[in-house]
Chain A
Amino acid sequence: MGKVLMKGNEVIAEAAVQADCKYFFGYPITPQSELVAYMARRLPEVGGLFLQAESEVAAINMVYGAASAGVRVMTSSSSPGISLKQEGISYLVGAELPAVIVNVMRGGPGLGSIQPGQADYFQATKGGGHGDYRIPVLAPSSLQEIVDLMQAAFDMADRYRTPVLLLGDGMLGQMMEPVEFPEKQDLDLPAKDWATTGTRGDGERKITNSLRLDPADLEVHNNHLQQKYATITKNEVRYEMYLTDDADYIFVAYGTVARIVKSAIQKAREKGIKAGLIRPITLWPFPELPFLETRDRVKAYLTVEMSAGQMVEDVRLAVNGRKPVHFYGRTGGMVPDSDEILAQLTQLAGGEQ
């Protein structure tokens, strides 16, 4: 299969199919409806099952059921629909069930707009539902990167028995770029001996459950989950560093905004301002290392988001007061352009000279 020109939402769907996802439960919402439509057409071709649920709440609980049976399963939605799924995600975490959830973010709060946004960062990375938990969050910034990260999402879900969130936005979902789907690689993943597929009299009863009424028992379970999060934090952090070696100013941005920032960096360098970019690819676990490496040599960081300032809090934790961390954001579905980002940097660079 050579290069094909596809829409982001279709790439997410096809990449999931390529990653052996056979079950999809969802409910359409702009700007990710093409993903649902693609799955409806494509999954029957590979012997899978597509079901349009009556609501987002139903869809995530169908995911719980399918994941309990040990199959690769996905659901997708956009911001308001992802809020509805939070209870189910917390249950998946409690029962340690692998699944992939896709959020193609739009402007909020409430029903908000249908234009691109990044205002669900807190919800995505700090737990989202109730209880002490985190789930891995992967944020692709190009359509080709979706292909790589979708495979990683399903693998991480199975390896750690956790839901994994792929976080994009309306721009990523709606745009087209050429993509290539590489040959699949065999991975050494643990067998799903916990799956509730029937015991056939050959062992203990298998149960998937998130209810533990004995607090001592539940604390043991929480400790186990926290250990799992420590392992994920140790093994799974991903990020990109772009022109940071000689940079006086380092942008921090993820997803599509990181692309716009790269254009601003090119323009800044033409003007003689040495700028670079740290692009977190996993938003949780958040990459701290690139900040430890750069914070003693840069003048300042500038975080750019399509939100009122969410990831910037994690940036400030990583920089830990060693350098100023500035913020520029647009909200409501407004997309910043490279010139306005450049203007922010120019002001910052001028103000410190």
Chain B
Amino acid sequence: MLHEILIAGFGGQGVMSMGQLLAYAGMIENKQVSWLPSYGPEQRGGTANVSVIVSDKPIGSPVISRPSAAIVLNNPSFEKYEPLVMPGGVLISNSSLIDRKSRRTDITVIEVPASEIANQMGDPKVANSVILGAFLEFSKVVSPEAVIESLKKVLSSKNQHLIPLNQAALEKGAEIVLQGV
């Protein structure tokens, strides 16, 4: 089992946090994990990406050249990483924010209107949890339970009330994949 996951978007979209949740959840499940951010002179609005590896063997390179999964949250990230996804891999996009379509036939493409779903749920900030839910349902990298467990540890005490909403968002994302949209 080796998952090489690349998450990319604008700075401030929660790219780093999403990666951290995956890495944390992997650690909870006693898997080997690494988390490597891009750290250029970037700030809110600039581009950001993070490489997360979850494996059952010790991790060699934390650098990912051909991701087995790419999660893209904006058009520039789609353009950059869509061609790099390993054949047989998966590309997941927030289709509320991305108008590009993949023409590749050798990968699975999952379009999740995550921002629309999050808005319907009353909080645009849970869009990443919707995406993550879809990714976890498809890939089974870690269990949603481990992600919730990670959220409990990462969120400060005053934000613990957000956990049920995020749990619901993960489930919404999973539904998208189960329905085969």
How many residues of A are counted as interface, with CB atoms below 8 angstroms from the partner's CB atoms?
A: 24
Distance to closest chain A CB from B41 (angstroms): 7
Distance to closest chain B CB from A196 (angstroms): 41
- Does B23 contact A176, Cβ atoms closer than 8 Å? yes
- Asked whether A114 and B60 contact (CB < 8 A) given A176-B34, A178-B27, A338-B65, the answer is no
The reply on B107 being an interface residue by CB < 8 A is: no
Proximity bits, A257-289, B CB within 8 Å = 1, else 0 = 001111100100000000000000000000000
- 17 A-B Cβ contacts within 8 A? A114-B41, A174-B36, A174-B37, A175-B35, A176-B34, A176-B35, A176-B36, A177-B33, A177-B34, A259-B61, A260-B63, A261-B60, A262-B61, A263-B61, A337-B65, A338-B60, A339-B65
- Does B27 contact A337, Cβ atoms closer than 8 Å? no
- Does A175 contact B34, Cβ atoms closer than 8 Å? yes
Distance to closest chain B CB from A342 (angstroms): 11
The reply on A31 being an interface residue by CB < 8 A is: yes
Proximity bits, A132-163, B CB within 8 Å = 1, else 0 = 00000000000000000000000000000000
Proximity bits, B20-55, A CB within 8 Å = 1, else 0 = 100110010000011111011100000000000000
Residues of B within 8 A of A114 (CB): 39-41
- Does B60 contact A266, Cβ atoms closer than 8 Å? yes
Residues of B within 8 A of A262 (CB): 60-61
Distance to closest chain B CB from A328 (angstroms): 15
Distance to closest chain A CB from B17 (angstroms): 12
The reply on A335 being an interface residue by CB < 8 A is: yes
How many residues of B are counted as interface, with CB atoms below 8 angstroms from the partner's CB atoms?
A: 19
A-B contact count (CB 8 A): 61
Residues of A within 8 A of B36 (CB): 171, 174-176
Proximity bits, B97-128, A CB within 8 Å = 1, else 0 = 00000000000000000000000000000000
Q: Which of B20, B27, B41, B61 is close to A260, meaning CB atoms less than 8 Å apart?
A: B61
Q: Which residue of A lies closest to B65 (CB)?
A: A337
Instruction: Tell me, in angstroms, the Cα distance from A337 to B61 when the chains sit together.
Output: 8
Distance to closest chain A CB from B59 (angstroms): 8
The reply on B12 being an interface residue by CB < 8 A is: no
Q: Which residue of A lies closest to B34 (CB)?
A: A177
Instruction: Tell me, in angstroms, the Cα distance from A339 to B27 when the chains sit together.
Output: 27
The reply on B87 being an interface residue by CB < 8 A is: no
Q: Which residue of B lies closest to A340 (CB)?
A: B65
The reply on B76 being an interface residue by CB < 8 A is: no
Q: A178-B33, A335-B63 are in contact. List 9 more A-B contacts (CB 8 A).
A: A5-B24, A170-B39, A174-B39, A175-B35, A176-B20, A177-B34, A260-B63, A262-B60, A338-B63
Shortest Cβ-Cβ A-B pairs, 9 listed = A263-B60, A176-B35, A260-B61, A262-B60, A337-B65, A263-B61, A175-B36, A178-B27, A259-B60
